[in-house]
């Protein structure tokens, strides 16, 4: 299989958007998705931080894949991932303190976002650097897109605001359950159903 | 045996490289992070005691003396308490008459419920209140002056009681020291 051809690289990039979306289809890393989607701003920030880690870890894992004996690959991958997470955490704290404050403990928690580990194990440890780069970007975009949609729905319905600004009329009574933990499950469930519907109409006759 | 040595050396090198790059990042970001934290604290101190122009730390991360034109104008306290969902950190000031000058909270309470302890509506209730008034109305209808947040009694009580107990223990300490 030639992975350097343009069309196959394009496929690696776009599969993360819908077809193999990390949240809706692979369904890994849901804990971060549930916890960080109470507001659109947090969700978007989480998406960006996640995308950076995803991309870097994919590139590094793919470039060292032939050097690492398979018995110790998991500890090596975890070391790589946690290094990048710590770099993101420190950099945010130093140069974007406002965002770092609102994301709080969830940036360090990207380490346990199993989708990063999942892609390292399932994809970049078996593919070229270029393909892994595309996979990382695609997964990052897919994750950021969906978590921001979830954050938007939860914030608008559950708090009457969007990106921190009031969007619902003042007399609107927020549906609190959506910003509480059960709300995340409800919204993800509805999105998954919608996603199934779209996929069936797009890919089946 | 060769496999074994290779495994160990690869893992060793990977961890070494990770440690090295983290040390580098730490060296670069240490200063901005520290100065940012200091600025944040300074802003918080000013917010809970707007009348003071200088702050002197007398117990590390716990008590500050607020000075105005070189004279003691009051004290600022920082305390931490278990809320409904994780720790709540509070900072508040009292002037020399013992009235509260302002309150700030940092928390991870439930959005829409306990998180309302950070709203001005809740925090402003503490302003100009004295030690004996700092109790929830529902806990002591006679003396209490603080309204709890609907649906978030635990968070409201944690904040109110911690402000009161911090002040009480400080007053006791001071009384003990004067003797």
B80 is a domain residue: yes
CB contact under 8 A, B112 and A179: yes
**Strand locations in A39-91, DSSP E?**
none
Q: Tell me the nearest-neighbour CA distance from B79 into chain A, angstroms.
A: 19
Q: Tell me the nearest-neighbour CA distance from A14 into chain B, angstroms.
A: 31
Pairing of strands B100-106, B54-59: unpaired
State the total domains in chain B: 1
Which of A79, A80, A102, A183 to mutate to probe the B interface, most B CBs <10 Å? Answer: A79
Give the DSSP letter of residue A31: H
**Given CB atoms, is B38 within the 8 Å cutoff of chain A?**
no
Note the pLDDT tens digit of each residue in B124-144.
Answer: 888 888 888 888 888 888 888
Which of A64, A69, A89 to mutate to probe the B interface, most B CBs <10 Å? Answer: A69
Segment holding A161, helix H or strand E: strand A161-162
The half-sphere exposure of B106 on its side-chain side, counting CA atoms within 13 A, is 11
Q: What is the pTM of this model?
A: 0.73
CA nearest to B23 within chain A: A87
Alpha-carbon distance B74 to B59, whole Å?
A: 14
Which of A39, A73, A84, A90 to mutate to probe the B interface, most B CBs <10 Å? Answer: A90
Distance between terminal CA atoms of chain A?
A: 28
Of A79, A95, A159, the CB nearest to B32: A95
CB contact under 8 A, B112 and A174: yes
Note the pLDDT tens digit of each residue in A145-173.
Answer: 999 999 999 988 888 888 877 787 777 78
CB contact under 8 A, A94 and B18: no
B125 is a domain residue: yes
Kindly list the distances between the CA atom of residue B64 and the CA atoms of B44, B48, B67, B87, B95, in Å, as whole numbers in the listed order. 12, 11, 9, 21, 12
Q: Taking the domains of chain A in order of start, what are their residue ranges? A: 22-203
Enumerate the residues of chain B whose CB falls inside 8 A of the CB of residue A64: 14
B166 is a domain residue: yes
Q: Average pLDDT for residues B43-54, to the nearest whole number?
A: 84
Q: How confident is the prediction for chain A on average, in pLDDT?
A: 85
B82 is a domain residue: yes
**Given CB atoms, is B21 within the 8 Å cutoff of chain A?**
yes
pLDDT confidence of residue B69: 83
pLDDT confidence of residue B19: 94
Q: Tell me the nearest-neighbour CA distance from B52 into chain A, angstroms.
A: 26
CB contact under 8 A, B32 and A87: no
**Strand locations in B6-121, DSSP E?**
54-59, 63-68, 71-82, 87-95, 100-106
Q: Is B101 in contact with B68 (CB distance < 8 Å)?
A: no
Note the pLDDT tens digit of each residue in A88-135.
Answer: 999 888 888 877 877 777 788 888 778 888 888 888 888 888 889 999
Lowest mean pLDDT among A47-51, A161-165, A196-200, B128-132: A161-165
Q: Domain range for residue B143?
A: 49-178
Alpha-carbon distance B175 to B57, whole Å?
A: 20
């Amino acid at each position: 299989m030639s992975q350097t051809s343009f069309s196959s690289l394009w496929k690696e990039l776009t599969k993360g958007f819908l077809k193999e979306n990390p949240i809706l289809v692979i369904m890994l890393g849901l804990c971060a998705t549930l916890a960080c989607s109470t507001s659109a701003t947090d969700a978007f920030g989480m998406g960006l931080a996640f995308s950076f880690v995803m991309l870097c870890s994919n590139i590094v894992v793919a470039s060292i894949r032939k050097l690492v004996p398979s018995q110790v690959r998991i500890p090596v991958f975890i070391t790589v991932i946690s290094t990048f997470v710590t770099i993101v955490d420190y950099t945010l704290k130093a140069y974007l303190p406002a965002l770092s404050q609102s994301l709080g403990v969830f940036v360090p928690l990207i380490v346990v976002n199993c989708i990063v580990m999942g892609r390292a194990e399932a994809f970049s440890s078996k593919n070229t650097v270029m393909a892994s780069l595309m996979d990382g970007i695609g997964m990052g975009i897919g994750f950021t897109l969906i978590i921001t949609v979830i954050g938007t729905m939860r914030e608008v319905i559950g708090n009457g605001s969007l990106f921190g600004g009031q969007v619902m009329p003042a007399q609107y009574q927020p549906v609190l359950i959506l910003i509480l933990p059960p709300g995340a499950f409800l919204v993800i469930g509805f999105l998954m159903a919608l996603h199934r519907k779209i996929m069936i109409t797009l890919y089946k006759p | 045996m060769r496999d074994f040595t290779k495994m160990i050396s690869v893992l060793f090198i990977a961890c070494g490289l990770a440690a090295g790059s983290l040390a580098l990042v730490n060296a670069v970001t240490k200063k901005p992070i520290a100065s940012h934290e200091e600025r944040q604290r300074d802003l918080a101190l000013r917010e809970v005691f707007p009348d003071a122009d200088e702050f002197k730390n007398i117990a590390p991360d716990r008590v500050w003396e607020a000075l105005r034109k070189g004279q003691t104008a009051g004290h600022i306290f920082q305390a931490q308490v278990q809320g409904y969902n994780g720790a709540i950190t509070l900072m508040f000031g009292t002037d020399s008459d013992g009235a509260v000058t302002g309150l700030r909270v940092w928390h991870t309470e439930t959005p829409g419920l306990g998180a309302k302890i950070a709203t001005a509506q809740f925090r402003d209730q503490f302003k100009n209140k004295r030690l004996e008034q700092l109790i929830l109305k529902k806990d002591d209808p006679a003396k209490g002056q603080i309204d709890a947040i609907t649906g978030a009694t635990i968070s409201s009580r944690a904040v109110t009681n911690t402000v009161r107990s911090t002040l009480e223990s400080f007053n006791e300490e001071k009384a003990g020291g004067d003797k």
